[in-house]
Structure 1
Amino acid sequence: MTAAPQIRIPAAYMRGGTSKGVFFRLQDLPEPCRSPGEARDRLFLRVIGSPDPYGKHTDGMGGATSSTSKVVILSKSTRPGHDVDYLYGQVAIDSAFVDWSGNCGNLSTAAGAFALHSGLVDPVEILPNGVCPVRIWQANIGKTIIAHVPIADHAVQETGAFELDGVTFPAAEILLEFLDPADDGDEAGALFPTGNLVDELEVPEALVTGGRLTATLINSGIPTIFVNAADLGYRGTELQDAINGDAAALARFEALRAIGAQRMGLIKDPAEAVRRQHTPKIAFVAPPADYVASSGRTVAADEIDLLVRALSMGKLHHAMMGTAAVAIGTAAAIPGTLVNLAAGGGERGAVRFGHPSGTLRVGAEARQVDGRWRVTKAIMSRSARILMEGWVRVPADSF
C-alpha cells in the first residue's frame, strides 16, 4: 500500500477576539475545495483534527473547544461596496461535521485584519497611517460588517494598549460595526421570529418545574435564546466548571436549546438540533451582582448592567461569543426583553455585561418602524493578531 504524501496549503493561524481559527484565501485552497461540498468539509475537518474521540485535537490545528475549532475563507468581493467575502465554518469536535449556519463575531475582527495582511484589499485604499475601514460581506448570513483596522507604516498595527477580558495580553483595538444585523424577512429570520419580545415555552416538567419557561427569542448577530438564570436555579455568576462539569446541566441546556430552535422556526423537529450545533445559542441572564471572574479579578455589581452566561457548541463559553454580544446589545436596547429587564429596563444605546472572563461593552441602535423593532447597527471593540503563518499540511487523500 502506497501512503499518501502530505500537501501544504497557505494559511494563517489567527486570534480574533476570544477565538482562534485557521484562515485561508479562497484562491489558495485545492481546486476541489474552492466550492461548498464534501471535499471542502473533509479538508477542514482534517485541518482541525476532527472528529476526535479523545476530544484533544492532537493531530490537528484545533484546540478542542468551540472557540478554537474554527476555519475561515476570505476572497476578494465582487459585491458592490464591499472589499472581501468572509465565510466561516464551525468544526465539530467529536463528529464529522462543519456547521456553516452562522457567523463568528470574534473572528470577524481577524477577518478584517487578514484581508489587509493577505493583499485582498486594494493597496490604494490603505492609508500609510490611521484607520482603514474594511467592508466585509459575511457570506454565511448575508450581512455587512465594517472592521476599522488600525494601520501604522502601511501595515496592520497588531500591538497596542487595548485590553479585552478573556485575552491575556493587550493589543490594538479594532472597532466592529455590524450593519442591519437582523433580517426583516420570513419569520425564521426576523428580529423576533415569533413576533414577541417574550415567549413562554412549553417544556418537559423534568427540565423546568411547572413545564413552562420564559424566554426572549431573538435573531441579531446570531439566533439566540435568552432565559432568566433564576428560572433554572442559577445566579448568573457561574464560571465554566460549574456548568461544563455537570453532564446533566449540559443535557438540560441542549434540550432547551432544541425546543427554542423549533419555536424560532430554525428546525422542524428537536432531533435536528444535533446537526445544527452552532445555532441558535442559548444564554441565561441575571441582574448585576459581584462575582470573581476566571482570572481571579472581582467584578463589582456597579461595573456592569447585567450578568450573561452563554453556551456554544454544547458548553459554557469561557467569555462571550461576538455574535452573541450583538444579540445581547440588541435585546438590551429594546424595552421589555429579558435582557433589557435584567439590565433594569428602559431605553439604552449600550450595555456592559459581566461574563465568565470579565466584562464587555456593546452598543446597538434599535427603533420601531411600523410597529416592528428594527436594529440598524451594533458596535463593539475587539482585537486580532496573527499567531503563525505559512502553510498547513494535510495528507493528500484528506479530501
Structure 2
Amino acid sequence: MNTSFAPQLRIPAIYMRGGTSKGVFLRVEDLPEVARTPGVQRDALLMRVIGSPDPYGKQTDGMGGATSSTSKVVLLSESESPQHDVDYLFGQVSIDSAFVDWSGNCGNLSSAVGPCAIEMGIVPAERIPANGEVEVRIWQANIGKTIVARVPVVDGQVQESGDFELDGVTFPAAEVGLSFMDPAAGEGSMFPTGNVVEELEVPQQVAASGRIRATLINAGIPTIFVDAAELGYRGTELQDDINADGEALVRLEMLRAHGALRMGLIHNLEEAATRQHTPKVAFVASPRAYTASSGKAIAVEDVDLLVRAMSMGKLHHAMMGTAAVAIGVAAAVPGTLVNLAAGGGDARTSVVFGHPSGTLRVGAGVDQVEGCWVATEATMSRSARILMEGKVRVPAEVLA
C-alpha cells in the first residue's frame, strides 16, 4: 500500500444549471489559500475539479460533462464595490488541453449567479424579501461589466420551480430575468474595425474567393457573424450536421482564428488555439421552417432570423447567453449581417431567433455617440436550478 498520497481536499461547492449550461460554483474564500488568487495553482485545482485535461474527451474523473456547455467553473465572492452584491468570475475549462480560458463571460451561467449568491449567503439577508423578487447586482469580473439578475423569492427562499420553458432545457423552472448593462465587451469599440460589415480575408478552404463578409462585434462576447449561405449552409443545421463533419469544423476554426486576428484579440493565428472561449463564430440566415433537435416544429413565422453558433470548436446545442446578447445588439444596428437576416431596418428593440433547440427572444438598446455605435443594455430571460450541493473532492497532490 502506498501511503505517500495525502487525503483528498474537500471544498464546499454547488453544482448548478444556469440556462442551457451547468457548472461547479465555488466561493473564493472556500478555496485552498494558494488557489484564492489567479495563477497556475488555481487553474490546476479547477481543472482537476472538472476532470481535465482528459485525452479521452469524457471528463469521467471529474464534474465536467465533456461538452463546452458543461465544462465550466464559477468563482463567487462578496463584491468589493458598494454598487454590487457579488463578484462573478467565469472559467471555461478546456476538455482535452491543460488550460482554463478566462477571456469572457458565460451568459447562461450568469442566470445562476444571483440564485447561487443568495444560497451562499453572499447577498445580505435584509435585501431578500419574504415574497417577491430580489434584484441581485453582479459584477462580471472577466469583462468588467454589470449584470442585474431579477430572482423570484417565495417564503424567503429562491424560487426554483416554475412554468417558464426554455428551449434547450427539458423541464420548466422559475424565470430569472437578466439585464446586461453596457454589454460591449472589453475596452475597445463595439465594432473593432469601425465597420458594421467587414470583408474578412480567409483561406480559400473557408471561402473560394479568399474573402467573406463578416460582422465583427464586441457585445456580450466577441462574436464573428457571417451569412450562412456564404458557407454553404441554410441556417437550419443541427449539431450532427456540423459536428460530424471534420472538414467543416476545421474551416470554421480557421474562420474564427482569422476573425480574432482582425478584431485584435490575438497577435498571430497560432494564439487562437489557446483562446478557445473567445471569439465565437455564428452564421445567420433569414427565417425558414425547420425541426428542432427535440422534434419541435419551428415555423417561418415563429422567428425573425436563424442563428447557429460555435462554442469550443463544436456547434452549440442551443445558444450561448453571451452570444444571444451579441445577436440582440447586432440586430438592432442597421446594416449588420444579423440585422439584414432579420429583415433590416433600424427600429428593432428585440428579436426572436431560431437555434438548434428552438427559439429565444433577446432585447437590446443601442445608440450612436459621436458617430460610433454603443450598446446600452441587453435583456433576456433564463432559468436556473441547484442540482447538488455539498463538497467536491480533489486529490491534494494537484496543489503540490
What's the TM-score once normalised by structure 1's chain length? Answer: 0.98
Q: What pairs up with 1:5-20 in 2 under 5 angstroms?
A: 5-20=7-22
Q: Deviations over 1:257-309 (max 9, x none)?
A: 00000000000101100000000000000000000000001100100000000
- Structure 1 counterpart of 2:30: 28
Q: What pairs up with 1:353-392 in 2 under 5 angstroms?
A: 353-392=353-392
- Structure 2 counterpart of 1:175: 177
In the alignment, does 2:252 pair up with 1:253? yes
Partner residue of 1:130 out of 129, 132, 139? 132
Partner residue of 2:163 out of 161, 164, 167? 161
- Structure 2 counterpart of 1:58: 60
* Structure 2 residue identity aligned to 1:132: V
Q: For 2:115 and 2:288, how far apart are their aligned partners in 1? A: 36
- Structure 2 counterpart of 1:282: 281
How far the C-alpha of 1:80 sits from its partner, in A, is 2.4
How far the C-alpha of 1:183 sits from its partner, in A, is 5.1
Q: For 2:229 and 2:37, how far apart are their aligned partners in 1? A: 46
Q: Secondary structure at the match of 1:319?
A: coil
Q: Deviations over 1:336-382 (max 9, x none)?
A: 00000000001200000000000000000011111111110000000
- Structure 2 counterpart of 1:38: 40
Q: Deviations over 1:137-185 (max 9, x none)?
A: 0000000000000000001000000000000000000000000001584
Q: 1:103 to 1:208 in 2, by over 3 A?
A: same
The count of residues paired between Structure 1 and Structure 2 equals: 396
Q: In angstroms, what is the RMSD of aligned CA positions?
A: 0.8
* Structure 2 residue identity aligned to 1:268: H
Q: Secondary structure at the match of 2:322?
A: helix
Q: What pairs up with 1:196-345 in 2 under 5 angstroms?
A: 196-345=195-344
Q: For 2:369 and 2:355, how far apart are their aligned partners in 1? A: 32
Q: Secondary structure at the match of 1:273?
A: helix
* Structure 2 residue identity aligned to 1:260: G
Partner residue of 1:116 out of 102, 113, 118? 118
Q: For 2:45 and 2:396, how far apart are their aligned partners in 1? A: 9
Q: For 1:77 and 1:275, how far apart are their aligned partners in 2? A: 29
Q: For 1:212 and 1:96, how far apart are their aligned partners in 2? A: 34
Q: For 2:41 and 2:189, how far apart are their aligned partners in 1? A: 33
Q: Secondary structure at the match of 1:108?
A: helix
Q: For 2:194 and 2:154, how far apart are their aligned partners in 1? A: 47
Q: For 1:138 and 1:19, how far apart are their aligned partners in 2? A: 17
Q: For 1:144 and 1:367, how far apart are their aligned partners in 2? A: 18
* Structure 2 residue identity aligned to 1:151: V
Q: Secondary structure at the match of 2:250?
A: helix
Range moving further from structure 2, 238-247 or 368-377: 368-377
* Structure 2 residue identity aligned to 1:378: A
Q: For 1:343 and 1:206, how far apart are their aligned partners in 2? A: 28
* Structure 1 residue identity aligned to 2:151: V
* Structure 2 residue identity aligned to 1:27: E
Q: For 1:100 and 1:171, how far apart are their aligned partners in 2? A: 29
Q: For 2:204 and 2:63, how far apart are their aligned partners in 1? A: 42
Structure 1 stretches of 4+ with a deviation exceeding 2 A read: none
Q: Secondary structure at the match of 1:397?
A: helix
Q: For 1:101 and 1:183, how far apart are their aligned partners in 2? A: 10
Q: For 1:368 and 1:384, how far apart are their aligned partners in 2? A: 34
Q: Deviations over 1:26-67 (max 9, x none)?
A: 111110110000110000110000011111111000000000
In the alignment, does 2:83 pair up with 1:84? no
Q: Secondary structure at the match of 1:335?
A: coil
Partner residue of 1:151 out of 131, 153, 159? 153
- Structure 2 counterpart of 1:352: 352
- Structure 1 counterpart of 2:96: 94
Q: For 1:63 and 1:200, how far apart are their aligned partners in 2? A: 37
What's the TM-score once normalised by structure 2's chain length? Answer: 0.98
Q: Secondary structure at the match of 2:398?
A: coil
| Maintained 8 Å contact 2:163/2:174 | yes
Unaligned runs of 5+ in 1: none
Q: For 2:15 and 2:106, how far apart are their aligned partners in 1? A: 15
- Structure 2 counterpart of 1:73: 75
How far the C-alpha of 1:3 sits from its partner, in A, is 2.1
- Structure 1 counterpart of 2:107: 105
* Structure 1 residue identity aligned to 2:89: L
How far the C-alpha of 1:234 sits from its partner, in A, is 0.2
Give the percent of matched residue pairs that are identical in Structure 1 and Structure 2.
70
